[in-house]
Amino acid sequence: MMLGSDVSGLSATSAAAAAQGLSIVVPLYNEAAGLAALHERLIGLARTLHGRYRLGCEVVYVDDGSADATLSIARGLKAEALDVQVVSLSRNFGKEAALMAGLDHVRRGAVLFMDGDGQHSPDLVEKLVAHWIDDGYDVVYTAKANRDNESFLRRQAVHGFYALINWGARQKIPEDAGDFRLLSPRAAAALKQLPERNRFFKGLASWIGFRQIRVDYEPAPRAHGVTTFSPGRLIGLSIEGLTSFSVAPLRFASLAGVVLATVAFLFGLSILWETWTTGKSVPGYPSLVVGLMTIGGVQLIMIGIVGEYIGKILSELKARPIYFVAEHSEKRAESETATS
């Protein structure tokens, strides 16, 4: 990087960008064991960023209804070099809702989303920030550099998921992009304007457009504990993402219907033809049963798909809040570093 700690090295545009500050949103669900260590690293990060860009930082911890000591530890964290907000949700609403709650509370311009389990390294943040401030990008997203440690089946499933969700979409969602990403002030403002209740964060962050750039990284192993996303929950999340973001499954349903109807029509023609040419009626009990079961099965699947969308419509219609805040506290950093 060409910039040293000398702030006069900043160009006018970079200085203007940095003046809006950075909010770091961290969703927390039972992360008591690693929280204090993470906070120390964020304090170090805030110092570095202030030294380099005069960038004022805050962190917004969103306690997503943790059952352990996460909230009490978060309350006790010191606002050193960066402001600290703690937003505690009334129960566990899930990560997407927690991210939304964080986004609703940020006080600075740019927003960085980061997991609270140490997998998203604070060290990489400097690079993300450089893409925003120095290069003028609006959405800096990260993607896992390799998936070698994941099973073949899982990789194929991920591949299929993105193929389906991006089918016919104008703005493609980049494959294997994670939730670790930085949004410039205008991108963050755009994301806030999206009103839907069923949120698929990766999709929305890509959909808003602006100048986007990808950064490959190697996620660190979880600092402690185990992932809360079991295969079952991931499948649920995928269905959620697909149906709240794309109508590809509905198109797929229509297409399957057309294909089946065409096959049935041709089959009918061939039966007619055979009857006419041989004069015998065609024995057809097995094919009849197979045909019936195929059509019945496909119809049930399609009704299920339509049902998913009706469920989405229902929940958008009810217009319930995405989360409830049980408690909110905030501390301002006293030092010079967070006050630009």
Per CB under 6 A, the list member of 21, 38, 39, 64 interacting with ligand UDP is: 64
Q: How many Å separate Cα 274 from the centre of its chain?
A: 56
Task: By CB under 6 A, tell whether 180 contacts ligand UDP.
Answer: no
CB 55 within 8 A of CB 12: no
Site residues for ligand UDP, 13-52, by CB under 6 A, read 27-29, 31
Task: By CB under 5 A, tell whether 83 contacts Mg ion.
Answer: no
What angle in degrees, to the nearest 10, is found between the helix axes of 231-245 and 285-318? 80
Task: By CB under 6 A, tell whether 115 contacts ligand UDP.
Answer: yes
Task: By CB under 5 A, tell whether 179 contacts Mg ion.
Answer: no
Per CB under 6 A, the list member of 229, 265, 267, 273 interacting with ligand UDP is: 229
Which of 65, 185 has the CB closer to Mg ion? 65
3-class state of residue 25 by DSSP: strand
Which of 58, 117 has the CB closer to ligand UDP? 117
Task: By CB under 6 A, tell whether 90 contacts ligand UDP.
Answer: no
Which of 3, 33 has the CB closer to ligand UDP? 33
Helix (H) or strand (E) holding 146: none
CA distance 26 to 115: 6
Considering only the stretches 88-96, 134-142, 191-199, 303-311, report the one whose residues sit in contact with ligand UDP under the rule CB under 6 A.
Answer: 88-96
Partners of residue 25 on adjacent β-strands: 60, 113
Partners of residue 253 on adjacent β-strands: none
Give min distance, CB of 64 to ligand UDP, in A. Answer: 4
Task: By CB under 6 A, tell whether 92 contacts ligand UDP.
Answer: yes
Binding partner at 109 among Mg ion, ligand UDP, none, C-beta below 5 to 8 Å by kind: none
CB 82 within 8 A of CB 59: yes
Give min distance, CB of 338 to ligand UDP, in A. Answer: 23
> Sheet of 22-28: strands edge to edge?
212-217, 139-144, 177-183, 110-113, 22-28, 57-63, 83-89, 325-331
Task: By CB under 6 A, tell whether 83 contacts ligand UDP.
Answer: no
Residue 309 buriedness (CB in 10 A; 0-12 / 13-18 / 19+): middle
CA distance 140 to 127: 10
Q: How many CB atoms lie within 10 A of CB 294?
A: 13
Task: By CB under 5 A, tell whether 121 contacts Mg ion.
Answer: no
Task: By CB under 6 A, tell whether 58 contacts ligand UDP.
Answer: no
Per CB under 5 A, the list member of 20, 119, 315, 340 interacting with Mg ion is: 119
Task: By CB under 6 A, tell whether 324 contacts ligand UDP.
Answer: no
CB 100 within 8 A of CB 64: no
Considering only the stretches 89-97, 255-263, 265-273, 327-335, report the one whose residues sit in contact with ligand UDP under the rule CB under 6 A.
Answer: 89-97
Task: By CB under 5 A, tell whether 80 contacts Mg ion.
Answer: no
Considering only the stretches 72-80, 91-99, 187-195, 250-258, report the one whose residues sit in contact with ligand UDP under the rule CB under 6 A.
Answer: 91-99
